[in-house]
Structure 1
């Protein structure tokens, strides 16, 4: 079967949608760098990363946790991370008794220490349990970070996240793919800042810039 010009245009546009979304993240490079630096500081002070999301966001949470716990690059330091979506018994038990909105907040409350970090993933920023998880984390003094898409939804507008990274696309496939790229960059830069810390006293847990970082 011959390839028509219409097919070629469709393929070009499919890649162009991804390229536009990825390039838009370059405009957030400063915020991404600050988030990675904040996370590296917390890891150096004994903090762990707590990650959560629903559906595909849940598999992303597991992916992120294993990247930190078992780095694919030989010689990179393993850093403590846990994905709250992995425990089906706890998720379903909390959901049954307390409601689905509390599935992550309940676990954050039990797992978290003040030096920890919480990363919530929601394709459109409208997952109530992800927002509640970040709200709980914020109340406990954790560093909080959100990955969203589209217009960011309530999650991007909430003060629950110190840093918000929103993929400017309404295509769920594009959002998913750029999220994967974003957290691979996150992993890479956290290690850069971890291995090359600034001068003494340059950063301490709790030193995030809050609204200014958003």
Structure 2
């Protein structure tokens, strides 16, 4: 049993390393939006709403001295608020979004990023897939990905 758990985590971690280019591309696009005055609007379905709050806190309250705060809001579990709050220069980050959650944001011109277990998500500009059927492993991958996004956005911000 333990071997299966370790193998599941190892496979998801290896899949993430294979997707490093997708993570870098998403972070670069996010950095461009922040430079244009955009805000990050995060939401999550179910338990992922807590992760959306964590994402917003990471961007607005950096824990590393010298990193600047970037504007971010948590929409909780309410992706419909993207249509009310979103502006064309903003970034919509959906964690475990349902089909249709990012459609309004994309139609308004927001950059859309989906952290999902489903690699098919045509309404998102960037799909960062956990590649695990185990929801706990998928959540660990999502947490790793949004921390990578935060760090890489700052790398791109400092490079300008």
The answer to whether residue 45 in structure 2 is matched with residue 77 in structure 1 is no
Are 1:121 and 2:95 an aligned pair? yes
- The answer for unaligned runs of 5 or more in structure 1 is 1-9, 86-90, 92-102, 198-214
Query: Could you tell me which residue of structure 2 aligns to residue 147 of structure 1?
Result: 115
TM-score, normalized by length of structure 1?
0.71
CA distance in 2, matches of 1:17, 1:173: 10
**Partners of 1:60 and 1:145 in 2: CA distance:** 14
Distance apart, 1:22 and its partner CA = 1.0
Q: Is the 8 A contact 1:49 1:81 kept in 2?
A: yes
Instruction: Tell me if the contact between 1:118 and 1:145 (Cα under 8 Å) persists in the aligned partners.
Output: yes
1:189 maps onto 2:152 in alignment: yes
> 1:51 touches 1:81 (CA, 8 Å); kept in 2?
yes
Q: Spell out the pairing of 1:195-214 with structure 2 (5 A cutoff).
A: 195-197=158-160
Runs of 4+ in 1 over 3 A off after TM superposition: 10-13
C-alpha distance after superposition, 1:72-99 (max 9, x if no partner): 11211100011101xxxxx7xxxxxxxx
Counterpart position of 2:123: 160
Judging by fraction of residues, say which structure has more helix. 1
Deviation, structure 1 residue 104: 1.6
Q: Is the 8 A contact 2:24 2:152 kept in 1?
A: yes
- Write out per-residue CA displacement over residues 42-94 of structure 1, whole angstroms, 9 at most, x where no aligned residue: 10111000111122210000000000010111211100011101xxxxx7xxx
* Per-residue CA distance 1:11-34 (angstroms, 9 max, x = gap): 444233212101111111111111
How many residues of Structure 1 are paired with residues of Structure 2 in the alignment? Answer: 160
Larger Rg: 1
Paired residues of 2:30 and 2:91 also in contact (CA < 8 A): yes
1:31 is matched with 22
TM-score normalised to the size of structure 2?
0.93
**Aligned equivalents of 1:158 and 1:164: distance in 2?**
7
Contact map agreement 2:92 2:110 (CA 8 A) in 1: yes
Does 2:34 align with 1:43?
yes
Please give the secondary structure, in 2, of the residue aligned with 1:132: coil
Is 2:79 aligned against 1:104? yes
